Structure 1
Amino acid sequence: MAKRLIITLDENTTNNYLWIAQNKTKAEVDSECEPSGIILIIDISPEPYGASVICENDEIGVASVELVDT
């Protein structure tokens, strides 16, 4: 049976990601550079540790991870 991995950032983590992405993109555009995008890493650990979210080398929060049948 096929599976799908669903990763959801909590509200605080999403807000942190958006703040970093907006500021980085604005700085690049203001410097007349093409926006380079964002590095986002989801570090999934076994239960009960959960998943941490790393953005541009800084841990910014947590994510929930769910494996579902499709």
Structure 2
Amino acid sequence: MNQKLVITLDEATTIKYLELAQKRTEAEMNADCEPSGSSLRIDISPDPYDSYVSCENDDIGVAAVQLINV
């Protein structure tokens, strides 16, 4: 049986991520730099606890983590 791990950011976390990514990309473009992208860190906890998401060094919210049979 094959499985895949599906990580879904909630709406508030997605908004925060997009805001941070947009600010960083805009600052790099204004400095005439190639946009570097960003890093997300997901600290996965077992149910019923939330999995926490960080973007660069900022805590931005929670994610749902599911192991799905394919």
* DSSP 3-state at the match of 1:22: helix
TM-score, structure 1 as length reference: 0.95
Supply the RMSD in Å over aligned alpha carbons.
0.7
One-letter identity of the residue aligned with 1:51: S
Structure 2 counterparts to residues 10-25 of structure 1, below 5 A: 10-25=10-25
TM-score, structure 2 as length reference: 0.95
* DSSP 3-state at the match of 2:46: coil
- List runs of 5+ in structure 1 lacking aligned partners: none
Which residue in 2 is equivalent to 1:3? 3
Pairs aligned (count)? 70
One-letter identity of the residue aligned with 1:27: A
* DSSP 3-state at the match of 2:4: strand
Which residue in 2 is equivalent to 1:43? 43
Identical positions, percent: 57
* DSSP 3-state at the match of 1:26: helix
Tell me, in whole angstroms, the C-alpha distance in 2 between the residues paired with 1:47 and 1:69. Answer: 18
